[in-house]
Structure 1
Amino acid sequence: MKAVIMAGGFGTRLKPLTNNLPKPMVPIVNKPIMAHTIKLLKHHRFDQIVALLYYQPEKISTYFKDGSAFGVKIDYVKAEDDFGTAGSVKNAQELLDERFLVISGDVLTDFNLTDALRFHQEKGSIATILLTHVSNPLPFGVVITDNEGKIERFLEKPSWGQVFSDTVNTGIYLFEPEVLDYIPPKTEFDFSKDLFPLLMSKGKPLYGYVAKGYWQDIGGLKQYQSVNLDCLEEAVHVEIEGKKQDNAWIGENCIIGKNVIFDKQVVIGKNCIIKDNVFLSRSVIGDNCFIGENCEIRDSILWHHVKLGRSVKLLSDVIANDTRIGNEAYFEDNVFVSDHCVIGNRAVITANVRIWPRKDVEEGAVLSTSLIWGERWLRELFTNSRVTGIINAEVSPEFGAKLGAAFGAYLGKGNYVATSRDSSEAARMINRALICGFMSTGVNVGDLRTMPIPIVRYALRSGQEKGGVHVRQSPRDERLVDIICFDSDGRDLPVTKTKSIERLFMQGDFPRVSFQEVGKLDFPVRVMESYTESFLKHIDVSAIEKGKFKIVIDYSFGLSGQVLPAILGSLDCDVIALNAYPDARRSPRKWEDFRYSLLQLTNIVNSLKADVGFLIDAGAESLSVVDENGHYLNNELLLLLVTKLYLETFHPRRIAVPVTAPMAIDRLASTLGVEVVKTRDDHRSLIDAASSTSSHSKEVTSFVGGTRGGFIFPEFHFACDAMFAMAKIVELMALNKIHLGELARQIQPPLMDRKEVPCPWEAKGRVMRYLMEFSKNKQRELIDGVKIYYNESEWVLILPDKELPLVHIVAEAQNRKKVDSLLNEFEKKILRWIERD
């Protein structure tokens, strides 16, 4: 039978180990990954192999030749360009005239492919995806099947709100040859994003088979280490060469000295010399290695032709081919050394350092990086479009310069980028470091300096810049700094681009320009003026002027205090300003601070008999509101009131709100004939909804309301802007001649509540899988988490947190007792599902 091995990967996340080696050739217990794959294929009678090559193809074809030494026949197809996963297989169509299997060249597995083939045949499937359960589904495609295995839904690399299961696509497929007819030639085409949705839309039988056994995608350095250790612990069935002696597999022609201790499992390759008094534990030593006296090697992987001097200590490190390490060198954990390096005597290599090929470290040197990576960087750099870390620990000036250089390398020399920040000293420091990084790659920088985020987004709409960043001290924790990255249109940088920047950052070998090509730095003018002009054009100034409102505004020591007073001067309002000067140290971050600010706002509104009070967050993206009676309007009630005023004033045809919005909005919109679009409960989704149109009526979205005090009015701005939202709320009050407290008394307030359930990261996907099974025959919505409807006024939403080991439960009902009942019921279910295997 025939099989295709996708062997074209660059191995970007395995750098520096893959600088001079294609990813399928990286050794696992002394054999290339692809050799283990071929062994598995042959065992299940897939002996006619097509290897798809792209990066350093000759290193693969030279090693495997025609395959006869491995008991198979191998044909090689070299790609002319990167046509995606499906497009690459299409290039080999002439060789695939019968049923065939596709497997990635960078995974290690011992799946029973014979059982999977039998399932494929029994179901009469045109395409079968092999599936497995994982603790963290985010890097993979999540797949949902019915009881027969027929695929109902899948999502490629979802966010936590889209994780409906821990069952993922393994990148192993069984295909009938007719599948290739659906793939266009010489075109970028992907299995998950393009081919499978196309087959489903045409009603073709597409199945998923949950395979039992070991499967690990070797996506990064951490996974590479763990796979080798799994092999040592025999968690996966692979062939390890050598003669087993107690805890060690020892290759032929090895010389083992006196008092050598093999603690736990160890693999020693061929022709190795291990001198006296060496301690080895859970480690792999490649062929033709020399280990000097008194060395201590724990949880480490040495490739071939590595030489260690006396008294070298390694802890959880990887040393690539032909590297020499001097006497008494000391390596802390997670050090990765590429090929042909020389490490001098008594050198100290600190944790998480990576050394590129052919580098020399001098005798006695202490080598460290500009960033001592915490575990979050080893997991992922970006959370959505944001990088967050501890100031001067995880996010230092060196880190900022490196991130700026990575972003700049992605944008390309000669392009423009906008930078901005809040008023904190930490943001000033990191912003300047980012500017240096951008300029070092030839990118020109327009620094907007201190500027509210909505105005930064507004300025980027001109299209001159290819992207932007805003640096701020975190609104949640003063120890943290946020670096928010924008696309060329001011929207959040999409995942495809953040992943590309992250790859550049991780590999660290982006090009710097010559001194003649260093980017320019300037300071754009008239940004504020342009924003103000457009702001006033989209507000009914005369209506607000006639209202003669008395307004109290708490600026939260944020940047809106530098912008909004001048605008309000044109509206003839009596404004009492609180905390109107920028001071990032005093901006509310904790709930206690926020509650105190609200209490202060309430008291002042009452004492001055003001018409309304606003608390604008420091970033000027969201607001909280106190009515004329000094009552705080919670986010759900505020959303309902503003939506009601907007619908009855402007009569739009289409609006958007998050899945967490109260059901009263749906009932109100239904009576007025307004389409309500539901979105995920994050800013990026609200922004996307603001620019969407109806698929059947072509109606544009006129209003987007969030459940966290954010509002979007697309005719003015595509993003949440608390300054404009404040003015728009006052305009709605003026046009309807009503106060918010008066309106609130006319409606029944939504009865909702929330609960957080602690949930380990590795259990989140499992919890969502059991939830999907539980809710299978119930009315549900799968937009952001799983929302289960009981009737038109009762529902519960279960949503995994994006950044914390938590699961959120949100419930709405007609009475308090029912809300509490729903919250408690699902808390118990989640805790029970966490404990289930």
Structure 2
Amino acid sequence: MKAVVMAGGEGTRLRPLTCNRPKPMVPVAGKPVMEHITALLKNHGIYDIAVTLQYLPDIIRNHFEDGGQFGVRMRYYIENKPLGTAGSVRNAESFLDDTFLVISGDALTDIDITKAVEFHKDRDAMATLVLKRVDIPLEYGVVVTGKDGRIVRFLEKPGWGEVISDTVNTGIYILSPEIFKYYRANEFFDFSRDLFPILLSENKPMYGYVTEDYWCDIGDINAYIQANFDVIDQKVRADIPGREIAQGIWVGQDTSIENDVTVEAPCVIGAGCRIRDGSVIGKHSVIGDNTAIADRCSIKRSVIWKNTDICSDVQLRGSIICSRTYLESGVSAFENSVVGENSKIGERAVIRPDIKIWPGKWVGQGMEVESNIVWGSRARRQFFGNRGVSGTVNIDMTPEFAAKLGASFGSVIKKRGIIGVGCDGSTSAAMIKNAVISGLLSSGVHVNDYDVLMLPSMRAAVRFYRLDGGIYAGVSNTGSHRLTLDFVDKTGSSIDRVTEKKIENIFSRDDFARCEGDCLKGITEIKGFQDFYIKNVINEMKSSSLDFKILINNSAAFGTRIVAELLTELGCSVKCVSIGENLPEGPADMGQFCRYVKNGGFDMGVSIEDSCEKMLLVNSNGMLLTEDVFIALISMILFRKLGGGTVVVPVSASQAIDTIAEKYHGNVVRTKTSTRDIMGRLLGRDAKEELLEQFTMNFDAVAGLVKLLDFLTVNGSSLREMVAMLPRIHMHRQEVECGWDKKGKVIRRIIQEHSGKKIDTLEGVKIYDEKGWVLVLPDSEKPLCRVIGEGASEEFAEELTNIYVRKVREISRG
């Protein structure tokens, strides 16, 4: 049997480890990870190996040559342009004349290849994917199989709401040469995204072999360190270089360890090392070949590459020190810090946790390194939540952080783009907005500054001026100490998760674009767009004036002022109160606000959230419209205004909307529950006028409220009467604790338990019952699942929800 080792990866998430070497050449326990893979293949009788290369190919070729010194025969196939995983393997087609194995050269595993091949042959498969169950499957391709192991579905790098299994693709495949019929040579083609979906759609025999053996995708710095620990803890079957001089202590040839040195197991010390008196080599330390460690050093839980010089009194704690680095006396480096190759760290310098120093850098004597030495400050791996990026002002939402975010977004947009920025006028938001502008300019984009406006107006400005995107800064209604940055794409929608991940990756790697000084673009200040937007809202009205008595909760001072002035100008009688401020006769909570609306003879009550995108409505009877009722109400209004049409609603929305659609000859499209997904569907490339109308009603509280009042006026109706026309809605919602590492398991088990029954896995898993449905949805920001049920009655909806709350709790604790 022959194998293909895919070794073209750059390993961008491992930088600076991979700045000067391809990812397969990163050492694990003293040997390049690809050496461990080569040894695994040889141990299973695979001696003929094709190696696909792209990034720094000569480093791999010069190390392995023809493979003879490793007991195998190697051939190399270089991609002159990116071809994708399947495309790169196609380069070796002439070499692959029978069933063959594909394996990554940059992952660590001891999978029993022989058993996997037997599984493949027993099922006469065209393709067999080696699968592994993992606790948190977000960074992998999730694969769903039937009871016989046949693959039934793929999902590439899902969000928590999309996780339907904890079984993931390891990137190890057993394939028939017949696969080459499905794509051409020199064509970009990916196994997971292109080939396997084709085989699945044509019902070709494609199976998943679930392994219990060790597998680690060395995807980031933490995984790299853990892989080293796992080797020396012997959690993975791998060859450890050197001789085991005591249990758990391996030492290479010609290494000198003086008498007064403490060495704690487990650890690996390479060949040709010198370790002086008084030093401590603590457990879980890996010392590369030809490393010199002077007296009184303390090395703990650290990985040191070969040819490194460490002077006296150096303290390393959970650090990675790359090759040919020189640490002067008294240097300290802490958890998850990385010093790149050919660097020099001056005497008594301190490298703080999580700091990355790129290759070839020099750190002066006595310096405290508190930011990455490339440019920018410390990175956070993931910071986008359900809505943009939020943080406490001047603690985790600092000007430095905001500037780097701006530079990262600008790097995604590329040069010659135009980005709009705006804020809510608060001092904190203005400060952060200005920092964002600095970062954007540094990346080479032009900036349109819209000064003070609402977030919905910012979205409209992006569309109106045909910008490439926008960033909006606004404080929370709980106080100016909490601030959110909203990122907008060229349609005015919140950016999608793919773009969020690109920004996070650029941010965490400090890999954003920098524009030369003479190429910097400028800032165009655009005043008065908020007023222009409000005039446009008025011009779209069908009625000449509005005559309603409205109570407004002053929950968002900026938005409340705008809507109060606008409604007053249009003829409404408006009163503003602040919940919880103990004003004379003022409401203490939302319940009292509802009673205030009813007892005060108001036509409706309105509370606008801080982003000015969402609103809560109370009718004249004091009834607070829940989110479910509000979505149904807006759907009915749109169907009536448009004489049918299409509405987009989340998968969690009530089935009552389908009943309304049938009555008014409309259509319902369901999408994922996140705001970005709903916006993306409404404002996509082919967005129709009816969908733009729905966007306004759902995500622009000021314009949406005016449109609602205009509709009521034209139709001679009231909010109370419109709500009474809706079908009865019986829904129940609960949250149940569920650890991050249990979410995939929970969804997989529920799907398996309902095999053959009507379910929907658009997001989470939705199970249909004769009298209703229930949706189990993993939360993307918290360690919990949301359980939403709808039934023919309140009692049945609650009972159905409780059943699945108990089920989630049982599976997650099992």
TM-score range with shorter-chain normalisation?
over 0.9
Choose the corresponding residue for 2:734, options 722, 741, 755: 755
The alignment partner of 1:227 has SS state of: helix
Change (3 A) 1:599 1:834: closer
Q: Which piece of structure 1 moves more, 548-557 or 173-182?
A: 548-557
Report the CA distance between 1:382 and its aligned residue: 3.1
Choose the corresponding residue for 2:394, options 384, 388, 392: 392
Choose the corresponding residue for 1:667, options 659, 663, 667: 659
Summarize the alignment of residues 508-519 of structure 1 with structure 2, pairs less than 5 Å apart. Answer: 508-519=510-521
Q: Which piece of structure 1 moves more, 88-97 or 530-539?
A: 530-539
The alignment partner of 1:768 has SS state of: helix
The alignment partner of 1:633 has SS state of: coil
CA contact (8 A) 2:334 2:352 kept: yes
Task: Give me the whole-angstrom Cα distance separating, in 2, the residues matched to 1:24 and 1:426.
Answer: 46
2:632 corresponds to which letter in structure 1? L
Change (3 A) 1:518 1:688: closer
User: Which residue number corresponds to residue 11 of structure 1?
Assistant: 11
Could you list the per-position Cα deviations for residues 654-694 of structure 1 after superposition, in whole angstroms to 9, with x for gaps in the alignment?
Answer: 2221121122222232344432211111112212332579x
User: Which residue number corresponds to residue 524 of structure 1?
Assistant: 526
The alignment partner of 2:234 has SS state of: coil
The alignment partner of 1:541 has SS state of: coil
Task: Give me the whole-angstrom Cα distance separating, in 2, the residues matched to 1:376 and 1:356.
Answer: 13
CA contact (8 A) 1:370 1:399 kept: no
Choose the corresponding residue for 1:806, options 780, 784, 789: 784
The alignment partner of 2:264 has SS state of: strand
Change (3 A) 1:406 1:755: same
User: Which residue number corresponds to residue 744 of structure 2?
Assistant: 765
Change (3 A) 1:346 1:382: same
Task: Give me the whole-angstrom Cα distance separating, in 2, the residues matched to 1:505 and 1:640.
Answer: 40
2:485 corresponds to which letter in structure 1? I
Task: Give me the whole-angstrom Cα distance separating, in 2, the residues matched to 1:756 and 1:92.
Answer: 51
CA contact (8 A) 2:644 2:664 kept: no
Could you list the per-position Cα deviations for residues 146-197 of structure 1 after superposition, in whole angstroms to 9, with x for gaps in the alignment?
Answer: 1111111111111111001111111111211121221244333222222222
Could you list the per-position Cα deviations for residues 581-614 of structure 1 after superposition, in whole angstroms to 9, with x for gaps in the alignment?
Answer: xxxxx999xxxxx994634643553354222222
1:736 aligns with 2:690: no
Report the CA distance between 1:760 and its aligned residue: 1.4
1:826 aligns with 2:801: no
2:240 corresponds to which letter in structure 1? I
Task: Give me the whole-angstrom Cα distance separating, in 2, the residues matched to 1:655 and 1:602.
Answer: 29
Could you list the per-position Cα deviations for residues 499-521 of structure 1 after superposition, in whole angstroms to 9, with x for gaps in the alignment?
Answer: 33322222214443332222312
Summarize the alignment of residues 196-345 of structure 1 with structure 2, pairs less than 5 Å apart. Answer: 196-246=196-246, 247-280=248-281, 281-345=283-347
Task: Give me the whole-angstrom Cα distance separating, in 2, the residues matched to 1:692 and 1:422.
Answer: 26
For the aligned residue pairs, the C-alpha RMSD in angstroms reads 2.7
CA contact (8 A) 1:754 1:808 kept: yes
1:721 aligns with 2:700: yes
CA contact (8 A) 1:587 1:618 kept: no
The alignment partner of 1:241 has SS state of: coil
User: Which residue number corresponds to residue 706 of structure 1?
Assistant: none
User: Which residue number corresponds to residue 775 of structure 1?
Assistant: 754
Change (3 A) 1:370 1:470: farther
The alignment partner of 1:713 has SS state of: helix
Task: Give me the whole-angstrom Cα distance separating, in 1, the residues matched to 2:11 and 2:362.
Answer: 24
Task: Give me the whole-angstrom Cα distance separating, in 2, the residues matched to 1:212 and 1:758.
Answer: 27
User: Which residue number corresponds to residue 574 of structure 1?
Assistant: 573
Change (3 A) 1:526 1:719: farther
Report the CA distance between 1:321 and its aligned residue: 0.1
Task: Give me the whole-angstrom Cα distance separating, in 2, the residues matched to 1:131 and 1:396.
Answer: 42
Task: Give me the whole-angstrom Cα distance separating, in 2, the residues matched to 1:317 and 1:519.
Answer: 40
CA contact (8 A) 2:698 2:704 kept: no
Task: Give me the whole-angstrom Cα distance separating, in 2, the residues matched to 1:568 and 1:475.
Answer: 22
The alignment partner of 1:777 has SS state of: coil
CA contact (8 A) 1:384 1:495 kept: no
Normalized against structure 2, the TM-score is what?
0.93
1:776 corresponds to which letter in structure 2? S
User: Which residue number corresponds to residue 795 of structure 1?
Assistant: 773
1:111 aligns with 2:119: no
Task: Give me the whole-angstrom Cα distance separating, in 1, the residues matched to 2:444 and 2:641.
Answer: 50
Could you list the per-position Cα deviations for residues 754-789 of structure 1 after superposition, in whole angstroms to 9, with x for gaps in the alignment?
Answer: 111111111111111211112223221111211111
Task: Give me the whole-angstrom Cα distance separating, in 1, the residues matched to 2:566 and 2:243.
Answer: 81
Summarize the alignment of residues 394-413 of structure 1 with structure 2, pairs less than 5 Å apart. Answer: 394-413=396-415
Which segments of 5 or more consecutive residues in structure 2 lack a partner in the other structure?
none
Change (3 A) 1:557 1:518: same
User: Which residue number corresponds to residue 188 of structure 2?
Assistant: 188
Task: Give me the whole-angstrom Cα distance separating, in 2, the residues matched to 1:378 and 1:699.
Answer: 35
Report the CA distance between 1:137 and its aligned residue: 0.7
Percent of pairs with identical residues? 35
Normalized against structure 1, the TM-score is what?
0.91
CA contact (8 A) 2:577 2:587 kept: no
Choose the corresponding residue for 1:630, options 619, 622, 628: 622
Task: Give me the whole-angstrom Cα distance separating, in 2, the residues matched to 1:677 and 1:800.
Answer: 22
1:806 corresponds to which letter in structure 2? L
Q: Which piece of structure 1 moves more, 564-573 or 252-261?
A: 564-573
Which segments of 5 or more consecutive residues in structure 1 lack a partner in the other structure?
580-585, 589-593, 704-711
Report the CA distance between 1:235 and its aligned residue: 1.0
User: Which residue number corresponds to residue 43 of structure 2?
Assistant: 43
1:550 aligns with 2:542: no
CA contact (8 A) 1:553 1:578 kept: yes
1:418 corresponds to which letter in structure 2? G
Could you list the per-position Cα deviations for residues 474-526 of structure 1 after superposition, in whole angstroms to 9, with x for gaps in the alignment?
Answer: 56886543222222222222333333332222221444333222231221245
Could you list the per-position Cα deviations for residues 102-142 of structure 1 after superposition, in whole angstroms to 9, with x for gaps in the alignment?
Answer: 22222111111111111222222222211111111111111
1:539 aligns with 2:541: yes
Task: Give me the whole-angstrom Cα distance separating, in 2, the residues matched to 1:241 and 1:248.
Answer: 11
Q: Which piece of structure 1 moves more, 32-41 or 455-464?
A: 455-464
Task: Give me the whole-angstrom Cα distance separating, in 1, the residues matched to 2:601 and 2:580.
Answer: 26
Report the CA distance between 1:304 and its aligned residue: 0.4
Change (3 A) 1:393 1:245: farther
User: Which residue number corresponds to residue 640 of structure 1?
Assistant: 632
Change (3 A) 1:105 1:421: farther
CA contact (8 A) 2:654 2:729 kept: yes
User: Which residue number corresponds to residue 22 of structure 2?
Assistant: 22
Task: Give me the whole-angstrom Cα distance separating, in 2, the residues matched to 1:167 and 1:447.
Answer: 47
User: Which residue number corresponds to residue 79 of structure 2?
Assistant: 79
The alignment partner of 1:461 has SS state of: helix
User: Which residue number corresponds to residue 506 of structure 1?
Assistant: 508
